[in-house]
Amino acid sequence: MLGPISDLLATLLLDVWEGVMRAFLIAMAIVLGGCAAQRLNASIYTRTDGAPVDAAKQQAALAHCKGEAVSAPLDPQGVDWGRKEKIIVDACMARNGYFQAKQ
């Protein structure tokens, strides 16, 4: 008589356990994903004058500099596009008062 009841109880406990673990894993994925996104949003540029970085102004300058890099003519000497873009963006950011911070 205890056989079917114990099987039912075991199945019920297993279903509850799976639900709890699924919720836990989803929560952990969200938390860890948030940490990763926060790290990606960390500013890689610092002000040359030592003033605090205004994130909005820094992002606007970066967008402007990336636009400059995209509109630059192709290099006839065949410099790698990624390297060329980085050089142009870094030079433009320096003109706007930012330099690349050490990671």
Residues 18-61 have pLDDT tens digits of 888 888 888 888 877 766 554 444 568 888 888 888 888 999 99
Angle in degrees, 0-180, between the axes of helices 81-95 and 55-71, rounded to the nearest 10:
130
Count of structural domains, the chain: 2
What are the residues facing 46 on neighbouring strands? Answer: 99
Each residue's pLDDT tens digit, 60-96: 999 999 999 888 877 667 667 778 888 889 999 999 9
Same domain, 55 and 15: no
Question: What b/e readout covers 48-68, taking b as 16+ CB neighbours within 10 angstroms?
Answer: eeeeeeeeeebeebbeebeee
Q: Residue 92, Cβ neighbours under 10 Å: how many?
A: 19
Domain limits for position 56? 44-100
pLDDT at position 8 is 75
> Do residue 96 and residue 49 come from a single domain?
yes
**pLDDT score of 98:** 92
Q: Do 38 and 63 have their domain in common?
A: no
Residues 80 and 95 occupy one common structural domain: yes
> Are residues 22 and 61 part of one domain?
no
Whose CA is closest to 60, among 50, 45, 78? Answer: 45
